[in-house]
Amino acid sequence: MTASPASAHYVYQGGWTYRTDYDCTAQRSEISHGRYGDGYSKSDVAAWERTPISQCTYPSWRPGGYIRTKAELWKWLPAQNRWSKCYQTGWFYNTKTKQQISLQVTYKGGVKGGKCGPGYYGTVAYGHQNNGGWHGGAIWSGYHYLPI
C-alpha cells in the first residue's frame, strides 16, 4: 500500500505588517478553492499595542472606521510568465469598536474574479489601523489552484 500526497484546501500567510514601540498591525491572507470549488480570498487584520512588559501583546480596540482591509485576486499566466490582477475589492472598514476585522470574497459562478477561469491564484490582503495615520501593509497568501 502506498500513501497519497496531502492536498491542501487552502494556503495562507500571516504576520506583522507594521510594528513599532507603541502599536502593531497583524495581517493574514488566504486563498482557497472553498467547500464546493467556488474559490475565495480572505483577509484578517488585527490591531495590537504595547504593554508595560512586551511589544504587540495587548489588543487595541479601535473605534469605527479605524481598521480597514481589502483583498486582491491574482492569477498566474504561465504563457506570459507573470501574475495578473483579476479582481480587487474596495476598502472594508470596521463599523463599530473592534480589535480585528475579516473580509471574505467568494468567486463562485464566474462572478468577480471567476471571470479569469481555472488556474493558479493568490490573494494579496491589505490591512491597516489608524492611529495618527494608517499603519499596516500587505501580505501574499501563497498560491493555490482554483477551478473558478
Question: Is 108 a member of any domain?
Answer: yes
User: What pLDDT score was predicted for residue 69?
Assistant: 98
Does 48 have pLDDT greater than 90?
Answer: yes
* Range with top average pLDDT, 1-10, 19-28, 45-54: 19-28
Does 3 have pLDDT greater than 90?
Answer: no
User: What pLDDT score was predicted for residue 17?
Assistant: 96
**Mean pLDDT for the chain?**
89
State percent of the chain over pLDDT 70: 90
The mean pLDDT of 41-69, rounded to a whole number, is 93
* CATH number, domain with residue 21: 2.60.40.10
Question: Is 7 a member of any domain?
Answer: no
Q: Which residue has the higher pLDDT, 1 or 91?
A: 91
The mean pLDDT of 56-71, rounded to a whole number, is 95
- Average the pLDDT over each of 42-46, 92-96, 114-118 and give the range with the smallest value: 114-118
What percent helix, strand, coil does the chain show, rounded to 5?
Answer: 5, 60, 35
Question: Is 8 a member of any domain?
Answer: no
CA dist 112 and 89 (Å) reads: 9
Question: Is 113 a member of any domain?
Answer: yes
Q: What is the pTM of this model?
A: 0.88
Question: Is 2 a member of any domain?
Answer: no
User: What pLDDT score was predicted for residue 35?
Assistant: 80
Question: Is 5 a member of any domain?
Answer: no
Contact 140, 29 (CB under 8 A): yes
| Structural domain that includes position 88 | 14-146
User: What pLDDT score was predicted for residue 109?
Assistant: 62
The tally of domains found in the chain comes to 1
